[in-house]
Amino acid sequence: MPGLSLRTMTDIQLSGRPVISATGLFTPEESITNEELVASFNEYVDRFNAANAEAIEVGETEALTYSSVEFIEKASGIKARHVMSKQPILDPDVMGPRWDERGNDEWSMMAEIGVTAAKQALERAGRKPEDVDAVLCAASNMERPYPAMAIEIQQALGIEGFGFDMNVACSSATFGIQTAADYVRAGNAKSVLVVSPEITSGHLNWRDRDSHFIFGDVATAVLVEDAAIAPEQHWDILSTKLKTVFSNNIRNNFGFLNRASPEGVGEPDKLFVQEGRKVFKEVVPMVAQMIIEEAEKLQMDPKTLRRLWLHQANAGMNRLIAQRVLGHEANDDESPTVLDTYGNTSSAGSIIAFHLNSDDLVAGDTGLICSFGAGYSAGAVFVRRVG
């Protein structure tokens, strides 16, 4: 190609190959241990049962039952969770996060924590905001319907171009990565930030014994870029695969046509509800099969995957999925968990696992970022370390 510089020719050769240039993580300072959570829950149970003693006595109301630290850890692997608002969650009279409503001239909470994670990703990639083309805010819950959180994050970072929100529950981040990768593949963008501020404490029913221990708050960011501009050290995105199958087994009916009361009391279906056992049984085979089939398409033996960064919802689910994919029981090195300290952080979970447990891999190592959750939805991102 006469007339083209070497740099331009390299760009053309590499153009359209999506990579992960860097990731970022924001972790709230406050954390709640199982012991603290259960003490508060059981105090609520005592108060409820005392206040309703007569109705319970005559069988009109069912007495509430204690939660237990042992059950929580055994059933889920969760030992603690970070939250944006600890004290009200532990107050048996409130049992939910509370914060002052922010004015229109203040950064919203999701934007604030999303920006912190995004700045870290940009810094790690050596990327300036003005070189980013788009921002996707991919999360389970949005603070408001519009203007999009992504556009506020874009503005706060000083990014030109465009942004929009997307919600695929626990799979939002992996769906965001594929969307960003597709922009790169199509040549519509060279640098896309996928930001996942997950303030899941807001959708959790802290009075529900079956699920009060599940969720925690966090924000992650993934910078998906064209290999042509990526830093020397990055992760090639070898393939992405998404899948959805409708299910009511994880559901939240909150919406703008159907709002929950400010306390979230009396309307538990406007918060997170699930049939945990059914989720477990139905999602494990669906996800394992998706991973194995996609590996086959890549002509890759899934057993050769060096590491799985799986969705962080339940340690037992991860154990089973990893076993089916790798053909043996995975150790912590092969399938690291962050459940113990972060709990289930919805779509951010697999990204936290990747962010905290990927620096030790070497060039050529392959791994899998994988999410699954409500929808049902599942997303797989096969990556290979470069540099």
What residues line the site for ligand COA (CB under 6 A)? 67-68, 71-72, 75-76, 170, 209-210, 250, 274, 276-277, 279-280, 313-314, 317, 344, 373-374
Q: Which is nearer to ligand COA, 185 or 324 (CB)?
A: 324
170 is catalytic: yes
Q: How far is the CB of 233 from ligand COA (least distance, A)?
A: 32
Q: Which is nearer to ligand COA, 124 or 319 (CB)?
A: 319
Q: How far is the CB of 271 from ligand COA (least distance, A)?
A: 13
Q: In the complex, which residue's CB is closest to ligand COA?
A: 276
Q: Choose, from 132, 136, 170, 224, the residue flagged as catalytic.
A: 170
* Three-state SS annotation for the chain: CCCCCHHHHHHHHHCCCEEEEEEEEECCCCEEEHHHHHHHHHHHHHHHHHHCHHHHHCCCCCCCCCCCHHHHHHHHCCCEEECCCHHHHHCCCCCCCCCCCCCCCCCCHHHHHHHHHHHHHHHHHCCCHHHCCEEEEECCCCCCCCCCHHHHHHHHHCCCCEEEEECECECHHHHHHHHHHHHHHHCCCCEEEEEEEEEHHHCCCCCCCCCCCCECEEEEEEEEEECCCCCCCEEEEEEEEEEECCCCCEECCCECCECCCCCCCCCHHHCCEECHHHHHHHHHHHHHHHHHHHHHHCCCCHHHCCEEEECCCCHHHHHHHHHHHHCCCCCCCCCCCCHHHHCECHHHHHHHHHHHCCCCCCCCCEEEEEEEECCCEEEEEEEEEEC
Q: Which is nearer to ligand COA, 170 or 352 (CB)?
A: 170
Side chain identity, residue 288: A
Q: Which is nearer to ligand COA, 215 or 235 (CB)?
A: 215
Q: How far is the CB of 229 from ligand COA (least distance, A)?
A: 35
Q: Which is nearer to ligand COA, 139 or 181 (CB)?
A: 139
Q: How far is the CB of 30 from ligand COA (least distance, A)?
A: 21
Q: How far is the CB of 117 from ligand COA (least distance, A)?
A: 20
Closest CA to 36 of 77, 84, 114, 95: 95
Q: How far is the CB of 74 from ligand COA (least distance, A)?
A: 8
Q: Which is nearer to ligand COA, 22 or 374 (CB)?
A: 374
How far is it, in rounded angstroms, from Cα 103 to Cα 191?
A: 31
Where in the sequence numbering do the catalytic residues fall? 170
